[in-house]
Structure 1
Amino acid sequence: MMIKKLAGHRKDLLPPTDELSEATYKSVRLDYLTRLPSSQGSSGDIDTATSLVADVNIDEDADEVANINTDMIPSSNDIQWELQRVMASAHDGWVRSVAMDPVTNDWFVTGGSDAAIKVWDLTTLKLKAVISGHILGVRSLAVSPRYPYLFSGSEDKTVRCWDLERTHAPEGCQIRDYHGHVGGIYTMSLHPELDLLFTGGRDQVIRVWDIRSRTEVMTLLGHSSDITSIESQIGDPQIISSSMDSTIRLWDLRKQSTLLTLTHHTKSIRLMKLHPKEATMCSGDSNGNFKQWLSSPGGELLSEFTSTNELSRIINSVSINPNNVLFAGFDDGTLEFYNYVSGKLIQRTKSIPSPGSRDSAIYDSTFDMSGSRLITCEGDKSIKIWKEVE
Structure 2
Amino acid sequence: MSVPIKLNLKNYRIMSLTAFSRDILMSTDDSILPPEDTLSEAMYNNVKLDYYFNNLSKSHEQSSVDDQTNQLIVSSAPKSEESPVLEWKLLRTLAGAHQGWIRAIALDEITNKWYVTGSADSTIKIWDFENNSLKAVLTGHVLGVRSLCISKRHPYLFSGGEDKSLRCWDLERSNSDAGCQIRSYHGHLGGVYTIGLHPELDVLFSGGKDCVVRVWDIRSRVEAMTLLGHTNDITSIQTDYSDPQVITSSMDGTIRLWDLRKSKTELLITNHSKSIRSMKSHPKEATFISGDSNGEIKQWLLPKGELLNEFGTSQLSPNQRDNSRIINSLAINPVTNTLFSGYDDGKLEFYNYASGSLQQSGQSPSLAGPEQSAIYASTFDMSGLRLLTCHGDKSIRIWGTSY
What's the TM-score once normalised by structure 2's chain length? 0.78
1:137-181 CA deviation, whole Å, 9 max, x = no partner? 000000001111000000000000001122343322110100000
Deviation at 1:76, TM superposition (A): 9.5
Q: Residues of 1 paired with 2:371 and 2:271: CA distance? A: 35
Question: What is the aligned partner in structure 1 of residue 150 from structure 2?
Answer: 143
1:188 maps to which of 155, 179, 195: 195
Partner of 1:186: helix, strand, or coil? strand
Question: What is the aligned partner in structure 2 of residue 200 from structure 1?
Answer: 207
Question: What is the aligned partner in structure 2 of residue 109 from structure 1?
Answer: 116
Checking the alignment, whether the CA contact within 8 Å between 2:79 and 2:354 is kept in structure 1 is no
Checking the alignment, whether the CA contact within 8 Å between 1:27 and 1:279 is kept in structure 2 is no
Judged with a 3 Å threshold, the aligned counterparts in structure 2 of structure 1 residues 374 and 176 are, in CA distance, closer, same or farther, namely: same
The farther-off stretch of 279-288 and 306-315 is 306-315
Deviation at 1:312, TM superposition (A): 3.4
Alignment of 1:369-388 (within 5 A): 369-388=382-401
The reply to whether residue 304 of structure 1 matches residue 310 of structure 2 is yes
Judged with a 3 Å threshold, the aligned counterparts in structure 2 of structure 1 residues 28 and 150 are, in CA distance, closer, same or farther, namely: same
Question: What is the aligned partner in structure 2 of residue 313 from structure 1?
Answer: 325
1:158 maps to which of 156, 159, 165: 165
Question: What is the aligned partner in structure 1 of residue 58 from structure 2?
Answer: none
The farther-off stretch of 309-318 and 338-347 is 309-318
Q: Structure 1: which amino acid aligns with 2:331? A: S
The reply to whether residue 230 of structure 1 matches residue 273 of structure 2 is no
Checking the alignment, whether the CA contact within 8 Å between 2:294 and 2:323 is kept in structure 1 is no
Partner of 2:172: helix, strand, or coil? helix
The farther-off stretch of 151-160 and 287-296 is 287-296
The reply to whether residue 336 of structure 1 matches residue 388 of structure 2 is no
Q: Residues of 1 paired with 2:286 and 2:376: CA distance? A: 26
Checking the alignment, whether the CA contact within 8 Å between 1:319 and 1:367 is kept in structure 2 is yes
Aligned length: 332
Partner of 2:71: helix, strand, or coil? coil
Partner of 1:28: helix, strand, or coil? helix
Partner of 2:258: helix, strand, or coil? strand
Q: Structure 2: which amino acid aligns with 1:301? A: L
Judged with a 3 Å threshold, the aligned counterparts in structure 2 of structure 1 residues 114 and 340 are, in CA distance, closer, same or farther, namely: same
Checking the alignment, whether the CA contact within 8 Å between 1:241 and 1:249 is kept in structure 2 is yes
Alignment of 1:215-364 (within 5 A): 215-296=222-303, 298-307=304-313, 310=322, 312-322=324-334, 323-354=336-367, 359-364=372-377
1:263-318 CA deviation, whole Å, 9 max, x = no partner? 1111111111000111100001111011100121x111111122489483100000
Alignment of 1:6-155 (within 5 A): 28-31=71-74, 33-35=76-78, 77-155=84-162
Q: Residues of 1 paired with 2:344 and 2:135: CA distance? A: 29
Deviation at 1:33, TM superposition (A): 3.9
Q: Residues of 2 paired with 1:244 and 1:34: CA distance? A: 31
Q: Residues of 2 paired with 1:164 and 1:36: CA distance? A: 42
Checking the alignment, whether the CA contact within 8 Å between 2:74 and 2:285 is kept in structure 1 is no
Judged with a 3 Å threshold, the aligned counterparts in structure 2 of structure 1 residues 165 and 260 are, in CA distance, closer, same or farther, namely: same
Partner of 1:30: helix, strand, or coil? helix
Partner of 2:341: helix, strand, or coil? strand
Deviation at 1:183, TM superposition (A): 0.5
Partner of 1:364: helix, strand, or coil? strand
Deviation at 1:35, TM superposition (A): 2.9
Q: Residues of 2 paired with 1:36 and 1:385: CA distance? A: 30
Q: Structure 1: which amino acid aligns with 2:310? A: E
Partner of 2:196: helix, strand, or coil? strand
Checking the alignment, whether the CA contact within 8 Å between 1:24 and 1:30 is kept in structure 2 is no
Judged with a 3 Å threshold, the aligned counterparts in structure 2 of structure 1 residues 36 and 209 are, in CA distance, closer, same or farther, namely: closer
Partner of 2:178: helix, strand, or coil? coil
Deviation at 1:78, TM superposition (A): 1.1
Q: Structure 2: which amino acid aligns with 1:232? A: T
What's the TM-score once normalised by structure 1's chain length? 0.81
Checking the alignment, whether the CA contact within 8 Å between 2:184 and 2:221 is kept in structure 1 is yes
Q: Indicate the structure with greater helix content.
A: 2
Checking the alignment, whether the CA contact within 8 Å between 1:98 and 1:366 is kept in structure 2 is yes
Question: What is the aligned partner in structure 1 of residue 402 from structure 2?
Answer: 389
Question: What is the aligned partner in structure 2 of residue 178 from structure 1?
Answer: 185
Q: Structure 1: which amino acid aligns with 2:305? A: G
1:25-54 CA deviation, whole Å, 9 max, x = no partner? 66524245443999xxxxxxxxxxxxxxxx
